[in-house]
Structure 1
Amino acid sequence: MLSSTVFTPDSASSFVRVIEDPGTPAVVNADDALEVGGAAALFGFDGQRMFALGSSESPVITRHVVTSDGRLEEDGELSLAGGGSGVASAFRRPGLVPFVSPTKAYFIDDVTKQVLVWNPTEMTLDGAISFASADREGLVIEVGERAVVRGEHLFVPVRYRTVEESDAGIAAALVFEHATDSFVGVVEDDRCGDTVHVVEASDGTLYFGSGTLGATFYALQRPAGYPAPCVLRIEPGETEFDPDFYVSIPSLVGDRPAGRLVAGVDGNAYVLALHTELLEAPLSDETELYAPWEASAWRWWGIELGATTPGTQLESTPVASGAGWALHAGDLQLVTQIRYDEGRTTLLVPQADGSLRAGLDVAGVPYSIVRLQ
């Protein structure tokens, strides 16, 4: 299942449809799709014929089933606003609605600083876990792209943002224990910042990587002394960053600012590097803070996950902006190559040789994908 949102100057609508293979290089439009108002995302537990849907227009999650002939039927709903939670929107990146099992899922909300516990089978709201104690004075906490359930714990990468829209330069992750639905605490590291991406290796090691915003702040040195983007890790059985492990991302890509760690196949991974030679003007003290991030001046590089070996620039992959994210469905990760000027997105599929191959070409901006039976 794929959900994609089409934006107009005054509104947004999302289209949900069954797709056979997101890696197929085909064109997908809104024809014969379920239309939903607002930005929408799909949440689900792999291998079932059901999924939940959350829209930015309300705090209500609706459950749908896919019939044997491929039709979508609504099959229950749940308001996340129950119990005075304060949650006003059911839209979240699906990586922030992790499923522990078919009967237990979370909804991570950094606005209200809580994790709602809900049952996707019974469609009930079963509790909430506050992480307000992770607040830092003068900073705003924002959750990353996705959370990972590993063993007894849930790990959520976060950034601490300043009120001036910059980043505090702190690597951080929230840690929860899902058996007791409790907040363990926040782990921090000052060796790099903006570690909003997390990848789980086949042995259970969690690798946390800086984002492209952090790479932009590093390139501009705003604030002064902002640390280089990096990869840190939390080893199996541990809940703290490994003090003996550090990989500088610029060292992998010819000393360029880079970030957005994405998993590939068989230990391969990818980062997005800022190629300043593609910018319209050199970086300077007058460069607007987000201008490099928004510019089409970023290129994908293939790297070995967790290694210090220099990476390889993927020459055949189109130039991109620093914006975008990965879509996750089971062990499948797809890179979104968004063409904002055209209102379309190409899904890039990791290959065994470390390359990225173009898959579906989708109308709008795809926020989620769920793997069904």
Structure 2
Amino acid sequence: MKSMTNVKRIAILAALLTASGVSACGKDDSSGGGGGPDGGDTSPAYLVGTRVWNDTLTTSYVHVVPSLDQATTIDPSKALEIGGSATLYSIPGLGWFAVGDAEKATFTRYTLSNDRKLVQQERISLQPQGVLKLWDTLYVVSPTKVYYPDPEGQQIIVINPTAMTVERTIKLPETARNGYLSVYGYGATMRDGKVIFTVGWFDWQQGDKVLGETGLVVLDTATDTVSRVDVDHRCGGITTPVLMDSGDTYFTSSALAAAAHKLGRLSTAPCSLRIKAGADAFDPGYVANLSDITSAQIVGEPIPAGGNSMFLRAFDESAGTVKPDDQTWKLTGQPVWQWLRWDVTTAKAERLADVPSGTADVLWFKVDNRVYGTESKSDNSSTTLIELTAAGGPKRALTAPGFLYGVTRVR
């Protein structure tokens, strides 16, 4: 598949492999902060980032909206337009946010004026650090320190977001695997002055394979040094952490990994690892085989569900098709993935009967302590947010033009 369809598919896969959201993944933009430059308007304001494809061209837009409710309308003529793929970054509670130009590897900080317009401030480039394109993940340490994970360069770039300066880099040669992209976790676990994140190894452009192991990197935030790099061979294809109310963090294989296993391109079956509350390493006594819990052979893609639960996506093999020479995206792109809720305390998974099946290509975002998934039209002409954790069951929220890649509250 060449042409525009392939361009879109690669772009969507790239979005999923930077995944799932604006701050990483943990994707938690629970609260904004600050008013306009003069401290005036303090009414709620959210940013919604979308992309539109035209032939081989990509154009990104950043919309300012007062609410994520279903009744909210978006006027594309008022959006900030960026040529190419843009990314959104924010620090919850601080009111700091930036727009990244993925292709130029630059961050531009913005503020919000009293008439709800984006006002450009400082800009920094990561090109001197060898960054070729931006991913949409940040690990927030403090108002003056964030870590930008650079998987292609096997490094962490330390940035002062307040001063908008690049401070240093942390090299991670231990995370390199020949022929694979080192996908650093979309979120990080913070424990006693440490930032802990996973590494999954994907070859999704050439061999369409996933490595059957997971790395765990432990960084000391006081010294910006690597404390330890572990490798666990029990589970592969992990990208996303889910923090439970218990304090335990679960790491579950992705839908791409589940598809790769079904096609014989990943040695480990869909599975989950955990780090117990207060610990900084994988629990050696715990690994969950998802097929035992869900009765599905192709299952994964964890999304927080609140409490001690997570949502999973399961491929309905009675409705979908699997051919031995398929690419993984041909499985993840079929609209036959069911929604499940897995309670890790009971080890039971139940299907969400009120949510229709769809593709596994679902980004998710946590805003105002609510978790949203996305539902895009087949041609990506529009995307609707689905509030997955709504009282009474999932409900539809805002609809945006184009493919929605980012949501964050900035005020």
Q: Same fold (TM over 0.5)?
A: yes
Partners of 1:27 and 1:173 in 2: CA distance: 42
For 1:69, which of 105, 112, 115 is the aligned residue? 115
Partners of 1:314 and 1:248 in 2: CA distance: 20
1:86 has 2:86 as partner: no
71-80 or 27-36, which moves further after superposition?
27-36
- 1:38 alignment counterpart: 84
SS at match of 1:217: helix
- 1:358 alignment counterpart: 396
- Cα offsets for 1:84-115 (capped at 9, x unmatched): 311133x322xx21222221112111111111
Q: Which amino acid aligns with 2:152?
A: V
Partners of 2:107 and 2:99 in 1: CA distance: 5
- 2:349 alignment counterpart: 311
Q: Which amino acid aligns with 2:183?
A: E
1:191 has 2:234 as partner: yes
- 2:215 alignment counterpart: 172
Shift of 1:195: 1.2
- 1:59 alignment counterpart: 105
Q: Which amino acid aligns with 1:312?
A: E
- Cα offsets for 1:44-99 (capped at 9, x unmatched): 11123331110123122111011233221111111122xx311133x322xx2122
Q: Which amino acid aligns with 2:237?
A: D
1:11 has 2:57 as partner: yes
- 1:121 alignment counterpart: 162
- Cα offsets for 1:340-364 (capped at 9, x unmatched): 4242222121226684322111222
1:25–1:358 Cα contact (<8 Å) kept: no
- 1:110 alignment counterpart: 151
Partners of 2:50 and 2:380 in 1: CA distance: 14
Q: Which amino acid aligns with 1:321?
A: T
Q: Percent identity?
A: 25
Shift of 1:3: 1.3
For 1:20, which of 59, 66, 76 is the aligned residue? 66
2:216–2:281 Cα contact (<8 Å) kept: no
SS at match of 2:78: coil
- 2:247 alignment counterpart: 204
Q: Which amino acid aligns with 2:282?
A: F
Partners of 2:327 and 2:164 in 1: CA distance: 46
> What is the alpha-carbon root mean square deviation over aligned residues?
2.3
- 1:182 alignment counterpart: 225
Shift of 1:268: 3.0
- Cα offsets for 1:214-266 (capped at 9, x unmatched): 1112223335xx22211211112322110112222223323342111110123
- 1:343 alignment counterpart: 381
Partners of 1:23 and 1:150 in 2: CA distance: 35
For 2:330, which of 291, 314, 326 is the aligned residue? 291
Q: Which amino acid aligns with 1:258?
A: V
Q: Aligned residues, how many?
A: 363
- Cα offsets for 1:141-200 (capped at 9, x unmatched): 222433343431222222123562201111333222222111223222222211111111
1:302–1:313 Cα contact (<8 Å) kept: yes
- Cα offsets for 1:323-373 (capped at 9, x unmatched): 232224464432122334242222121226684322111222222222223
Structure 1 residues 60 and 367: CA distance shift in structure 2, 3 A = same
Q: Which has the higher contact order (CA 8 A, sep 6+)?
A: 2
> Is there any run of 5+ residues in structure 1 with no aligned partner, and where?
none
1:12–1:38 Cα contact (<8 Å) kept: yes
Structure 1 residues 267 and 27: CA distance shift in structure 2, 3 A = farther
1:108–1:115 Cα contact (<8 Å) kept: yes
Partners of 1:269 and 1:317 in 2: CA distance: 15
SS at match of 2:163: coil
- 2:39 alignment counterpart: none
SS at match of 1:218: helix
- 1:239 alignment counterpart: 280
Partners of 1:297 and 1:361 in 2: CA distance: 22
2:58–2:84 Cα contact (<8 Å) kept: yes
1:3–1:16 Cα contact (<8 Å) kept: yes
Partners of 2:163 and 2:233 in 1: CA distance: 42
